[in-house]
């Protein structure tokens, strides 16, 4: 299913940060299909501008640059920042300071909808034996997860104080296909990622909503019932990959923290 199949809405100008990253490259052409102009930003190489694109590379820690980045856009898909676990000093500039700059830019320029790429690592220290919902307490599994928890709190504050709506997407594992048994629960196909982002952009009322980003996987630790108002309906599943994955990875050590906690390998990274 394409963007055209999921919504009839069309935006004049959307902003995509982190456009040169793994998921940014996936979403870049898909978002362009539903807007007149797509403004893309990153500190990595963005290549050449396609028709209807504006290239505006800006480090997220550059406040003046980010404020200008938000001028004249209808909505933001904020993927930018460090996307894996690192030392706090490496996480701070883009993920924490930079996300604050994005929200300040939205406030100053009157942007009223942000789709924030949060992460399942906000809740990584919940156990794989649990089923949790967006209403359960956060339990970050590292500095990366902490930065995304900060972003969710920032989104709540900017809704309460300034009326800027956000859908925080706790993205699971978005790859062409799941590669291990953990991903049988966390996998999010690229097509479902598109469906999720478009639903988050187009839902009539979201205030600050949190939703787990996953496909329709039979094995799941996450219950998105409190987020049904967003209108996301996944259509892909990890089920077709299960037999091959289990044949490759037959044994799981139940005493290994990687197998105990939802965050997988992130719960054992560091110290730095």
5 pLDDT above the threshold of 80: no
Whole-number percent of the chain with pLDDT over 90: 94
Q: What is the mean pLDDT of the chain?
A: 96
- Put residue 96 in one of left, alpha, beta given phi > 0 → left and psi -120 to 50 → alpha: alpha
**pLDDT at 70 (0 to 100):** 98
Predicted TM-score of the model (pTM): 0.96
117 φ/ψ angles, rounded to the nearest 5 degrees: -80, 90
* Beta carbons of 218 and 238 less than 8 angstroms apart: yes
Q: Of the candidates 133, 107, 113, which has an alpha carbon nearest to the alpha carbon of residue 204?
A: 113
**CA 250 – CA 181 distance, rounded (Å):** 9
* DSSP code at position 127: B
Preceding peptide of 268 cis, ω within 30°: no
pLDDT (mean) for 86-114? 98
* DSSP code at position 267: G
**CA 164 – CA 111 distance, rounded (Å):** 7
Rounded to 10°, the helix 22-32/190-202 angle is 60
Judged by average pLDDT, the poorest of 3-7, 14-18, 105-109, 199-203 is 3-7
Determine the Cα angle at 134 with ends 132 and 140, to 5°: 75
Determine the Cα angle at 6 with ends 11 and 117, to 5°: 70
Q: Which two tokens stand for residue 90?
A: 């490496």
The secondary structure element, H or E, covering residue 5 is: helix 3-6
Q: Of the candidates 54, 49, 105, 42, which has an alpha carbon nearest to the alpha carbon of residue 79?
A: 42
Catalytic residues: 144
| 3-class secondary structure per residue, 88-115 | HHHHHHHHHHHHHHHHHHHHHHCCCEEE
210 pLDDT above the threshold of 80: yes
Q: Which two tokens stand for residue 64?
A: 């003046």
The 3-state DSSP class for residue 54 equals strand
**CA 5 – CA 152 distance, rounded (Å):** 29
41 φ/ψ angles, rounded to the nearest 5 degrees: -140, 150
CATH number listed for the domain at residues 3-268: 3.40.50.720
108-158 pLDDT, tens per residue? 999 999 999 999 999 999 999 999 999 999 999 999 999 999 999 999 999
Q: Which two tokens stand for residue 95?
A: 């993920």
Q: Which two tokens stand for residue 39?
A: 């403004």
Determine the Cα angle at 220 with ends 243 and 156, to 5°: 145
**pLDDT at 32 (0 to 100):** 97
Give the pLDDT band of residue 272 (cuts 50, 70, 90).
Answer: confident
- Strand locations in 30-144 (E): 35-41, 53-55, 75-78, 113-119
């Amino acid at each position: 299913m394409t963007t055209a199949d999921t919504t009839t809405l069309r935006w004049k100008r959307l902003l995509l940060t982190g456009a040169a990253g793994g998921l940014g490259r996936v979403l870049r052409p898909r978002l362009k299909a539903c807007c007149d102009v797509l403004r893309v930003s990153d500190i990595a190489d963005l290549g050449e501008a396609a028709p209807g694109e504006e290239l505006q590379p800006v480090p997220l820690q550059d406040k003046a640059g980010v404020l200008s980045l938000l001028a004249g856009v209808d909505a933001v898909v904020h993927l930018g920042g460090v996307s894996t676990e690192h030392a706090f000093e490496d996480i701070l500039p883009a993920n924490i300071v930079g996300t604050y700059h994005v929200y300040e830019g939205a406030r100053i320029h009157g942007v009223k909808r942000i789709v924030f790429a949060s992460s399942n690592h906000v809740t990584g220290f919940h156990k794989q034996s649990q089923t949790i919902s967006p209403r359960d307490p956060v339990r970050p599994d590292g500095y990366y997860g902490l930065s995304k928890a900060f972003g969710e709190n920032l989104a709540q504050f900017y809704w309460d104080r300034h009326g800027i709506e956000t859908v925080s997407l706790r993205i699971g594992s978005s790859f062409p296909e799941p590669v291990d048994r953990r991903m049988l629960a966390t996998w999010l196909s690229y097509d479902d990622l598109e469906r999720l982002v478009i639903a988050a952009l187009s839902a009539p009322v979201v205030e600050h909503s949190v939703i787990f980003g996953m496909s329709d996987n039979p094995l799941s630790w996450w219950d998105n019932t409190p987020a049904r108002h967003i209108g996301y309906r996944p259509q892909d599943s990890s089920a077709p990959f299960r037999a091959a994955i289990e044949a490759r990875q037959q044994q799981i050590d139940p005493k290994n923290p990687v197998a105990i906690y939802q965050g997988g390998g992130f719960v054992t990274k560091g110290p730095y």
